[in-house]
């Protein structure tokens, strides 16, 4: 491997949870992942981040990483031999290998939790029209999508995935209750939040929140969560009702 092909951001790279990102743009990292709670956890070696510069594994004198698609059509395709060489340099390592791709399984909180239980993740960021299918198959990659839209490259999707996963690791987010109360935890979206001042431009905070009555506050929040979920996400609402019925019956 080229010197500089591989950049580790955590001090000792001994963190219990390690993330490896294969990209044509290693300079995009750690980017936002190096700030705030995730940045602190990175510095504290709760997790480690390593980028692998895919271009360092190109074998021709032009350092080509892409070529025209067989069968014609617009754009370029990332070459299988280059990706294979990059992966070969970082594997065998534990954990799952994911290719960020709009064709993939949608990232959700359940998947984020599943990934947070892994010792390590290897993420491949595509560019151009995407990656040659043969290397996806040969490495048995799992395709994961950020949503039903097309990004220019996989890096921003990888950052979003890493953010969602790393914040679930023990010690990253201060109070575990703040994770338990979040959207999706009970299959519902979060209730409305308020802070001081209690009266802002004539808009007052719901009285129950000032009552100090924990049971009433909890009940109000549940009703709000249910109401918001029913209106905004009928798909989640349906699942929540079915689960509730199952628990009750
Ligand atoms: C321009 S996109 C390729 C889009 C592809 N030709 C298609 O039609 O599905 C280039 C790269 O961005 C990344 N990407 C784009 N949209 C994404 C999404 N919704 N989720 C995850 N990664 C995405 C993938 O790594 C992809 O290989």
pLDDT along the chain (249 residues), means of 10: 56 76 98 98 97 97 97 98 95 86 97 96 98 98 98 98 97 79 87 98 98 97 97 97 92
132 CA distance to ligand 1 middle (Å):
13
Q: According to the model, what pLDDT value does residue 4 have?
A: 41
Instruction: Give the pairing type, strands 17-23 and 120-125.
Output: parallel
pTM: 0.93
Give pLDDT, residue 38. Answer: 98
155-166 helix and 109-116 helix, angle to the nearest 10 degrees: 70
Q: Is 153 in the pocket of ligand 1 (CB under 6 A)?
A: yes
Q: Which domains does the chain have, with CATH numbers?
A: 17-167 (3.40.1280.10), 176-248 (1.10.1270.20)
> Longest Cα pair distance anywhere in the chain, in angstroms?
71
Distances from the Cα of 98 to the Cαs of 112, 205, 207, 248, in angstroms?
12, 44, 47, 38
Pocket test residue of 24, 100, 149 for ligand 1, highest count of atoms within 8 A of CB:
100
Kindly give the number of the ligand 1 atom that is closest to the alpha carbon of 153.
12
Q: Computed from CA positions of residues 161, 109, 105, 48, in that sequence, does the dihedral angle turn out positive or negative?
A: positive
Does 148 show up as a binding residue in the annotation? Answer: yes
User: Residue 196: what pLDDT?
Assistant: 97
**Ligand 1 center–CA 226 separation, angstroms:** 34
Cα separation, 13 vs 79, in Å, equals: 29
Residue 169 Cβ contacting ligand 1 at under 6 Å: no
Residue 5: the pLDDT is 55
**Residue written as token pair 């506050």:** 217
Is any atom of ligand 1 closer than 6 Å to the C-beta of 102?
yes
Whose CA is closest to atom 9 on ligand 1?
102
Ligand 1 atom closest to the CA of 130, numbered from 1: 27
Q: State in Å: Cα 88 to ligand 1 middle.
A: 23
126 annotated to bind ligand: yes
């Amino acid at each position: 491997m080229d010197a500089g092909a591989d950049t580790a951001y955590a001090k000792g790279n001994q963190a219990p949870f390690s993330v490896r990102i294969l990209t044509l743009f290693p300079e995009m990292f750690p980017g936002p992942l190096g700030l705030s709670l995730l940045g602190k956890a990175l510095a504290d070696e709760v997790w480690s981040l390593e980028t692998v510069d895919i271009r360092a594994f190109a074998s021709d004198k032009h350092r080509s990483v892409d070529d025209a698609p067989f069968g014609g059509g617009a754009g370029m395709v990332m070459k299988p031999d280059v990706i294979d060489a990059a992966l070969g340099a970082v594997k065998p390592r534990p954990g799952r290998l994911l290719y960020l791709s709009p064709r993939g399984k949608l990232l959700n909180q359940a998947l984020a939790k599943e990934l947070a239980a892994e010792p390590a993740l290897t993420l491949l960021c595509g560019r151009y029209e995407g990656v040659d299918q043969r290397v996806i198959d040969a490495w048995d990659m799992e395709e994961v999508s950020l949503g039903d839209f097309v990004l220019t490259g996989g890096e921003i999707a990888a950052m979003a995935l890493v953010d969602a996963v790393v914040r679930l690791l023990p010690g990253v987010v201060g109070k575990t209750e703040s994770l338990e109360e979040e959207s999706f935890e009970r299959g519902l979206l979060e209730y409305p939040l308020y802070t001081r001042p209690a009266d802002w431009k004539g808009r007052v905070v719901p009285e129950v929140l000032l009552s100090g009555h924990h049971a009433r506050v909890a009940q109000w929040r549940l009703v709000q969560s249910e109401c918001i979920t029913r209106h905004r996400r009928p798909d989640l609402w349906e699942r929540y009702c079915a689960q509730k019925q199952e628990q009750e019956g």
